[in-house]
Structure formats: structure tokens, C-alpha cells
Amino acid sequence: MSGVLDRFRSLPSVQVTLAVALLVLGFLIAAQIAAEGPRIRYTTEERAPLIETALRLQGQQEALKAEILAIRARISELEAIDPSAAASLRRLYADLEQARLDAGLIAVRGPGVAFRLEDGTTGSVDSLVSARDIRTLVEELWLAGAEGIAVNGERIVGSTAVIDIGGSILVNSAYLAGPYTISAIGPPDMYERLQQSVAFVEFVRGRIEPSGVRLAVAEGQEVDLPAFAGTVSLRFAKPGAGGE
């Protein structure tokens, strides 16, 4: 034992440094390869301008959404009714505020749960979180009594589509990368209801567990959901009876 130690002490420091550096290098190379496993990294020249364009459009999207929320807030202030106004006008304003709340156009807070879906580390395509996974979880939460849901800060409304783009997801036309947080406000027993759902149990046992996708849940907490910041204008659908 002491012979080994003596031999180690006699090694030039440069060799020790080299050995440590090579060890770190090995880890980094392994990490790089693991990270690129299922999501193949393309390095063609044509991608650079495409990424720049996508980034520019994402920036514009965020600015437009912020503008929509700001104008809606100003409209809401302009529409606010003086307490001395006629009762019919005050009722009309109350109906409008209620419709905004029902439609998901107002940011809300309440008790709920938050799920986190994250790609697995097995390296297989199956271990990537898909739009179908998000949709399944959202549908199960609705069935368990959720009153409002958001995915990575995108409020789920009646017009929301959740689709795959490569290994990432588009929600309300917003590009989201994992991990994905699905937050829902609902009754106190929402998580228990979820666990009793045959479809949810099948989703966890048949999809999540075998694939290596990571699913975590935080329950019993206050959840904040943002307002929907997209379009509510209709081009083809015209209000019929009961629209007034």
C-alpha cells in the first residue's frame, strides 16, 4: 500500500494534471454525446438563418402578446362603469367581466396542481415528451374538474392546439421547449380524482413508466395562470341567438 502511495507521490505533477484533465474531458465528451442522443444536432449552414428568423419571429410574438394584454387592460379601464351609472349598465359591465373570466382572458390564482413532464434519459425517441403526452394530461385534468390550465405559461383555451415541432411543442402558436410544466386550478380533490381515472393510470403505466419520460407532481399549492394573450376575433363564425 505504501509502495503505491510512494509511486503516486513520485509522479510528476504534470502527469497528474494531465490525468485529471483527461478524466474531465471524458466526462464532457460523454455528456455531449448523451445530450445529442435522440435529438440529432444538424450543423448545416442553412440552419443558421432559419434559427435567426425563428428567434426574430418569437421576439415579435412576445411583443405582440404583451401589446394585446396592455390594450385589453386599457379597454377594461375605459369600459369600467361609474358606480352611479344605471343598474342596467352596471349589470352589462359585470356580465362582460364575467365573460372575460369564463373565457380565460383574465389571469387567475387558486388551489391546484402542477405537473412537470421531462424527457427521459434513455436516449430513445419514445423517451421524448410529445404533444400527445401534453394533450393527454390536459384532457385528464379537465375531466378531473380543472377550471383553468396553462402549459409553460400558455393558457389553454377552446382554440388551443398542441402540436409537435421536431422534439419540441407548439402551444397557441408559441414555441415551447421542455421541461413542460402543466399547471391547473381546480377542486381540492382534483389529484385524487385524477389518480382514480382509468385513462390517467393507463397513461402513467402504459406510456410514462416504460418510456422513461419523467413525470413529477406538486399538489396542494396556489397556482397562478396567465390570461390568454391570443386572438378572440372571429372571421367565419357569426353570433346567433343569445349573443346579446
- Using an 8 Å Cβ cutoff, are 211 and 127 in contact? yes
> Does residue 12 belong to the site contacting another protein (CB under 8 A)?
yes
> Does residue 218 belong to the site contacting another protein (CB under 8 A)?
no
**Shorter beta-carbon distance to another protein: residue 39 or 116:** 39
> Does residue 113 belong to the site contacting another protein (CB under 8 A)?
no
| CA–centroid distance for 10 within its chain | 56
Query: For another protein, how many residues bind (rule: CB under 8 A)?
Result: 111
Binding span for another protein by CB under 8 A among 1-9, 140-148, 207-215: 140-148
Residues numbered 31 to 90 that lie near another protein (CB under 8 A) are 31-32, 35, 39-42, 44, 46-47, 50-51, 53-55, 57-58, 60-61, 64-65, 67-68, 71-72, 74-75, 78-79, 85, 89
> Does residue 181 belong to the site contacting another protein (CB under 8 A)?
no
**Shorter beta-carbon distance to another protein: residue 175 or 212:** 175
Q: What is the DSSP string of 157-189?
A: -TT--EEEETTEEEETTEEE-SSEEEEEE--TT
Residues numbered 223 to 242 that lie near another protein (CB under 8 A) are 224-225, 230-242
CA distances from 79 to 73, 75, 101 (A): 10, 6, 15
Q: Which triple of cell numbers denotes residue 20?
A: 485529471
Q: Which triple of cell numbers denotes residue 86?
A: 344605471
> Which residue is it, cell 400527445?
132
The closest of 30, 194, 167, 40 to 112, measured between CA atoms, is 194
**Shorter beta-carbon distance to another protein: residue 74 or 205:** 74
**Shorter beta-carbon distance to another protein: residue 177 or 216:** 177
**Shorter beta-carbon distance to another protein: residue 2 or 222:** 222
The closest of 167, 163, 166, 173 to 228, measured between CA atoms, is 173
> Does residue 160 belong to the site contacting another protein (CB under 8 A)?
yes
> Does residue 121 belong to the site contacting another protein (CB under 8 A)?
no
Residue 2: CB minimum distance to another protein, A: 26
Q: What is the DSSP string of 85-131?
A: S-HHHHHHHHHHHHHHHHHT-S-EEEEEEEEEEE--SS-SGGGS--H
Q: What does the alpha-carbon distance between residue 8 and residue 18 come to, in Å, rounded to a whole number?
A: 14
